[in-house]
Structure formats: structure tokens, C-alpha cells
Amino acid sequence: MLKKNYLSLFLLFNIILSFSQNRKVIELSEGWKFQKGNPENASQIEFNDTNWQNVTVPHDWAIYGPFDKEIDKQIIAITQNGEKIPTEKTGRTGSLPHIGSAWYRKSFNIHENDINKKIILQFDGAMSEPEVFLNGKKIGEWKYGYSYFYFDISEDVLKGNNLLAVKLINKEFASRWYPGAGLYRKVTLTFKEKENIKHWGTFITTPIVTKSFAKVSIKTKVSSTHGKLVTKIYDKLENLVAERESSEAFGNEFEQNIKINNPNLWSPENPYLYTAKTSLFIDNKLKDEITTKFGVRKIEFIPKKGFFLNDSLTKFKGVCLHHDLGPLGTAINRSALKRQLTILKDMGVNAIRSSHNMPSLEQLELCDEMGFLFLAESFDEWKKPKVKNGYNRFFDEYAKKDVENLVRATRNHPCIVMWSSGNEVPDQWGSEGVKRAKWLQDIFHKEDPTRPVTVGMDQVKAVMASGFGAIMDIPGLNYRVHLYEEANEKFPQGYILGSETASTVSSRGIYKFPVAQGIMKKYDDFQSSSYDLEFCSWSNLPEDDFILQDDKSWVLGEFVWTGFDYLGEPTPYDEQWPSRSSYFGMIDLAGIPKDRYYLYRSRWNTKEETLHILPHWNWKGREGKKTPVFVYTNYDSAELFVNGKSMGIQKKTKDKTPQHRYRLMWNDVIYKPGTLKVIAFNADGKAVASKEIKTAGKPYQIVLDADRKTVNADGKDISFVTVSVVDKNGVPCPTATNQLQFDVTGKGNFRAVCNGDATSLELFHKPTMKLFSGKLVVLVQSTKETGNITLKVKGKGLKSGSIQITSIKE
């Protein structure tokens, strides 16, 4: 009975992630107390936290706002952008109140059966500079807010009640984007026997991969120098496919080589995962057991030819992602991450770059399962600073430890095919930078000799001259498309990666006239044109990269800046207020695709049809004026009709501008209200697809569309509901800006709302917001009870809308 009550107590306040006879992992999620500020003696048991806020972890305390231009206001010249004169930057880190200190406290119980066990306390990420206390005693600290780290608390826990306290501090001038604040990733306790498999002590590789068999190499570090290790490998259907027993350790490490016949190879098209179950026996008694998912796959980078996955030439069709999740801030949520990846998968993306930080473990798990190649990045800054209080303060003491933790915690993920030791670091100049690059790369190689290392380099002339670029496994160029040829001639590797590309800027559903290419274009409404012809002073339009990918075998592929908009860095409006989030995304902050999404989809998603028309066709006041029409499609030609009258056939061609090679454009269309229709033709000239958009009348009715109508009753799962309005004929209203209100009843809660407008100062957690370009997204979160959830949306003068979501136990 005692054991049952103890288990119930843990279930009440935590989530048991895994449980076996000799090991259990428990997530410390609920029952946390939170207080912003620096209360005296907050780490002590006797401190009164009655009035502290009750929160669940992961938690980002700054996302709740308000937005304020004075927060982290930076007077700075951004050297990465070519600026030489300092100016006031108000939205660079999102204008959310993330500056300052905060405390988290949580009580947990240690049963007498566990008091003599090995107990590991792990933090997946804590923003930032965490100091950790247990029962009033400081047990350790870390510095980097993006790093995973852990402490052995076996000697510090008490039988019965224990008090964990964490102090965090975010300094001003410490980031170039919104970093978040708080315990924004998981906190876990691992219980195991004193004789055990070491934390992050398993390393699985597949050094030989053929269609008929694969060699799986498993290195396992243990706490003792003797014993027996048994590893069993199971397929996706839990069938045993191979096993190996070893009784000889080399020091404290077992090395096992196991053959899998006719392996199912992991790839983005076939993300097949095996499971290795490793058991440690001492004197024939089971002491520890751990399961590890892995993929069988082969990676090769071949000079002048490119990247090969399982002997198949593969171009990186990648995007860069910052770590915030829009209206959720940086607090990790698996359903929000999965929605992001689902949207990217539909676009044809096959690769993710975590920029410019270490990825969450949940993101890597999903990339394994859903099939994304991954470039895992470590730092945005080395010894030389970009911002006053950045990572430069910790580089000497922590860089080695941070890289080791990154690799050891994540190296079994088959999705990871490259490491990045840095992004646009000022250390690119001079001999000291070359030494640091080599030093970091050697650490990666020591921890993982199976994957290459890159750096995102923007100072291409400097790295060609210094040798910095020549020593890297993979030369990664950020932009500088005009230097690709010269760099490839001077670098010895025989290939170049577009580690960061494009930086095209746009606002969803906003179009500017006249339609022309523009560098750092600014408008009075602080929006950017969605004709996808505007870019930054250091960057270029998408087609410049497309041509390199298509015409140069030695270009490995690209990682576009960025997949999704993110909080902070509102270029080109980082000197204007209010602008508090980016314009770079192919998808806006709410997760709604922009027009540019379909430009990339037409090239990357080769399995499905893309036929997308822009702009919308609601232009009161533009009657009789030129209003260019673009079509993004994977067909080579199409005919455009305005109110039934043909505007002619356009074909993709290499003979004009780069845009004509990848877009169909009718630049002389005169606006008349009515219907735009496009008919696409296949290579034989046969009409095979059509699409049309119509001029809408006044907004009349609210329409709701959920990404999922069934959610898990775990208190964390989220359904993302897109809200739009239509006229009396059901035609979408693309310019609507109605103020809407939201009400959630039943077994769920209103979690947040976002409209994708980079200039909006409306708070995400308030149940009201204006439509932006006719749309917004409401986040409905489950409780732990099963049943129905109803979202009702209303707005003045509009017919209300509602949708029902079902919450079940999975």
C-alpha cells in the first residue's frame, strides 16, 4: 500500500517518462512555485512561498508581456548587417519583459526504497545562468541557457520531502533575438542502481550499411569494470531482430558489434526507427536497463559530387528555425513542434538547422520520427562578442563542456547528419579564430567521429584569406552567393553548404506597389511586400540560391532563413516601433503560410501539386491600375484569366531574369473586381489543373478550421484553430481586420492567440485579437479530463463561429 501511495504521489505532480525494474525517469512538470525578482533566501526551505505563482514546467515567464519598446533597448551597430553607425534598436529581442531574475521552487518526495540509488537531476534548458539548490544547499550551476546539463544528487537528497530551488537571471544586451525566460524545457529525475549504465553513456553508430546487412556498433559506458551487457535490437513492430551478449569491458566501456540482416534504412522518405534495449548484469543480477531508438543510415560527403544518404544523392532542402514557438514563447510543447514540422513537411522541407542554439530533445525526437535531416548548432558567439553580455563571457570555461553535453545527449539521433560549432562568429578574422575553430571541431570529432562539423561563415573573404574556411569539414556560407565560385576554388573540401540563405522579407497578405525588387525597403505601415521581391542588404532573393542548387553539383543544398517568423530581429524595421518580430519566415508567427511558402513548395515538394495565385483580388481604389499577378507552381506554364478574359500564357524560362525561371508572372494585369483564374499545363501542353480567387464582399461570417479535432487529455496537447471570415457567398475576406473574442468551454482551456502581424502589441494570452490579412490562429489546450471542448468565436457585426474538439486518453 505504501508503494502504491508513493507512485500516486509522483503521478499527481509529475509524469513518469519511463519505468522498468531498475530504472525510472520522472518529469518534474507540475507543482512548481514561481516568483519573478530576487526574494531573499528564496533557496531556503523555511522561506514562505505561499503567494508565489503556481506554474507548470516547461514555462516561459516573459511571453505574457506586455510588449514595451524600452525593454532591452540596444544602441548598437549590427556588424553582421554591415552597419557602421550605432542606432536605437527597440524590438531586437522581442520587446517582451525577459530581463531580470526569477526563482522556481518545487517539493518532491524520495521514497525509502530510492534513498540509496543513483539519482540524476537533469535540465534540458534553463534561461539563463541557472543556480540550483537542494534543501537549501547549492549543488551546482551552469551558464549557457540553451545547454542540457545534469547533477548527481544521490548524496544530497533526503528520505521524504525535498525542496528543489532554481535561480535564473537574464541580463540585458545578452541576445540578438528573443531568448525566452525560465525553465523553458523539461526537468527530470532519473533513478537507477549504484551499478549502472552511465548518464548519456550509450553511443550507437552504423559504420557499415548495405541493402543486405548493417553493422550496428554500440559503445556503452558503465559504472563498473566487470559484469555482463546484453543488447537486444527490435524493429518497429517490436520483433527481435538481433542480440549480443558481452562479458568483457575495456575499462568501463563495453563495445558491441551487431549485425542486422536486410535493414530498413532511415531517411526523410522512410524514417524507420529501431530500438536497442541494453541490460547490465552484475553477478547475474539485472542492475540497469535502458532503451535507445536509433536509425540505420549511411552518410557521405563526396568532393565535387555532394551529400549522399544511403548512397543516394540528396540536396539539403532546409530551413533555419529559432527556438520560440510564437505565442507560446520558448516553452517547449510537443504538439506545437509537431505542427511546425508537419507544415514544413508539406512544403517539401527535408532538413532543419537549429539556429543559433542547441535543439530541444523533443525536436530531435520528432525529426527522427517524421524524417528530417538535422544540422545541430551550438553557439552564436565564441570569444569575441556580438552583444555585451553574450556567450563570450563563458566561452573559456564552458565551451568544451557545452559541446560535450550537446553531443553526448543527442548523438544517437539518426536525423543529425552535421554539427555546427558556430554562426557568423566575429572570430572569423585572424589566427586566434582559426585556432578556436580547430579546437572546437576537434572536440566534436573526439565525442563523435562519425559526423562532420561546419560553421556558418558570412565573412567569406576573411575566411578564405585566414584558412578558417579551409579547416572546416563542411564550409558553410551564409549568403554571399556572388562568392560561391571563388570560395569553391580556394577551399579544398570540394563542396559548399548554403548554411544560411535568402533572408527574403514579407508580411502575409500585404502587397506593395509598384512591384519591384527592393533592398531593405520600408513602408509607413511597417510591413513588407508579399510579392517576395524584397530582401536585406546582405542577402538575396530565393532564385539566386535555386540556381546554385540546380546548376552546381558541388553545392550541397541550403538552409533558408527562416522557416517560421520568430520573436525579435524585426529587420528591416529594427529601428521602428512597433515592430517586435521577424519578417523572414516563409510561414508567419501564427503558423500560417505566406505566399513564399508556395514558391519553395513548388520546387521542393515534388510529389504533390502546387498552384498558388497572388495577390488577393480585393483592391478597392486600384481599379484600372496595373496589379501584377504571380503564380507559384510546379508546372512549367499556365494561362491567366481576368473575368474570363485571357491575359496570355506564361512559361518558365532561363532566358530572362532568375525569377522567370521559377515563377510565372503577368506584370501588366489591370485590376478589375471579379475573378482571377489560372489554368496550368503539363509538359505536353495539356490543361491539367486550375485555380481561382474572387473579390470578396463585406465580412459576414466567422469560419473555424482546426488542425486536429482530437487531442490527448494530458493537460499539454494543443489544437491549433485557424479563424477567418467570409462574405455572404462564402468567399474569404483577405483584408479583414475585425476584432474577435474567444471563449473555450468543456474539457479544455484557451491557451493563446496569434495573428502573425509583426507590429501587433496585443497580448497572446488575452482572449481577444484583431484579424490580420483576414486570419488568426487560436490555441486550445486540453486538460487531463476526457470529453468535448468547444471554441466559440464572435466579432461585432459578424455571424459567430464555433468548433468542437474531443479530448481522449491516448
- Give the residue numbers marked as catalytic: 424, 500
> Angle of helix 361-370 relative to helix 334-347, nearest 10 degrees?
40
Q: Are 466 and 430 in contact (CB under 8 A)?
A: yes
Residue 236, classified by CB atoms within 10 Å of its CB into exposed (0-12), middle (13-18) or buried (19+), is: exposed
- According to DSSP, the residues that pair with 755 across neighbouring strands are none
Which one, of 752, 782, 788, 757, lies nearest residue 767 by Cα? Answer: 752
The contacts of residue 111 (CB under 8 Å, 6+ apart) are: 3, 6, 159
- Look up residue 292 and give its three cell numbers: 535507445
The contacts of residue 220 (CB under 8 Å, 6+ apart) are: 197, 201, 202, 203, 229, 231, 253, 254, 255, 256, 278, 280
Q: Are 133 and 152 in contact (CB under 8 A)?
A: no
Give dist(CA 89, CA 576) in Å, integer.
Answer: 8
Q: Are 194 and 223 in contact (CB under 8 A)?
A: yes
Q: Are 98 and 62 in contact (CB under 8 A)?
A: yes
Residue 595, classified by CB atoms within 10 Å of its CB into exposed (0-12), middle (13-18) or buried (19+), is: buried
Give dist(CA 242, CA 276) in Å, integer.
Answer: 9
- Look up residue 676 and give its three cell numbers: 482571377
580 three-state secondary structure: coil
Alpha-carbon torsion angle 113, 116, 118, 124, nearest 10: 60
Give the CA angle between residues 538, 540, 543 to the nearest 5°.
165
Q: Are 641 and 631 in contact (CB under 8 A)?
A: no
Give dist(CA 366, CA 414) in Å, integer.
Answer: 11
